[in-house]
Amino acid sequence: MVEVGIADWWFAATGHAVPTPPPGAAVISSEPGSTLVRRDGRAFLALEGISKVYRVGEHDIYGLADVSVSIEAGEFVAVMGPSGSGKSTLMNIIGCLDRPTAGDYFLDGVEVSRLPDLSRARLRRMVFGFVFQSYNLIPRSTALQQVELPLMYQRASHRRERAMEALSLVGLADRAWQRPSQMSGGEQQRVAIARSLAVSPRIVVADEPTGALDSRTSDEIMEIFTRLTQERGITVVMVTHEPDVAQFSQRLIRMRDGRIVEDGPTDRVLQPRQPDDIPPLAPSEGRAHE
């Protein structure tokens, strides 16, 4: 099975020449000190035996303990779990913001967790879009500037047009010149989503994107995510606390104490819970934050 074609986008993104691998499994040498190992038959995102250990004083604390998970391109995956269950650590590792202590992370067949910092920065720039609970917009910059920023790091052309296009996608074209302080939480989050979409990412990593929003706005955001996966084939991996939000996803992963305890179609994973377990709809300020 020839896999070269699949990872071509990766080499295009990181600026490396596409190597000619030997038949079958390929060992690809790219930058000094790094080896890209490509193997056949893996999912688009494949985490194999990922652990993250934090050393606190004399104790080792497992943020993630031997987590393996595969996610196919175009899937909309929600990750749920109590505080400290390792959801955010998982997201950071998937988004190439953090490195695992042990294990392999294959992105389209390429091991990326041990790539040099610069390659990982390029991956974040070209492949990932990030959406955070606290929006993480740059203060005092206009919506348009926020959305243009990742394009600037990409050194992309037609930045203004592309940024405006992304803003229209989230319905904020008319607010392009407003600053975060002049916008509501929902609008700010939509700007953050526009920023993550402007670069045409393959994967959107969202860490509690609706954590600070009311339920109506949350639904709007979730509809945008659903459209992304359905219309553009973008993979969305989202951490959430709220079953209401999680039900927009196709697949739900439950975590506890750094391990995956449940993984399946969202309908099925949510079902065993009795209606009593589902927290009543609360006003936005009352929602649990991590």
Q: Where on the chain is the footprint of other proteins (CB under 8 A)?
A: 92, 95, 97-98, 117-118, 121-122, 124-126, 128, 130, 132, 136-141, 149-150, 152-155, 195-196, 199
- As measured in angstroms, the least distance from the Cβ of 215 to other proteins is 26
- As measured in angstroms, the least distance from the Cβ of 98 to other proteins is 5
- As measured in angstroms, the least distance from the Cβ of 238 to other proteins is 16
Q: Which is nearer to other proteins, 130 or 248 (CB)?
A: 130
> Rounded to an integer, what distance in angstroms lies between the CA atom of residue 47 and that of residue 116?
19
- Listed in order, strand segments (DSSP E) in 210-282 are 235-239, 251-256, 259-265
Q: Which is nearer to other proteins, 102 or 118 (CB)?
A: 118
- As measured in angstroms, the least distance from the Cβ of 15 to other proteins is 12
129, 196 Cβ separation under 8 angstroms: yes
DSSP string, 15-77: TPPPP-PPSSSEEEE-STT-EEEE-TT--SEEEEEEEEEEEETTEEEEEEEEEEEEE-TT-EE
Q: Which is nearer to other proteins, 3 or 108 (CB)?
A: 108
- Tally the residues of the chain: 290
- Phi and psi at residue 154, to the nearest 5°: -80, -10
* CA nearest neighbour of 89 among 64, 114, 59, 67: 64
Q: Tell me the C-alpha to C-alpha distance, in Å, between residue 191 and each of 142, 183, 220.
A: 10, 10, 13
Q: Which is nearer to other proteins, 134 or 284 (CB)?
A: 134
- As measured in angstroms, the least distance from the Cβ of 99 to other proteins is 10
Q: Which is nearer to other proteins, 4 or 156 (CB)?
A: 156
Going by the DSSP 8-state scheme, the letter that residue 202 receives in this structure is S
Q: Which is nearer to other proteins, 95 or 186 (CB)?
A: 95
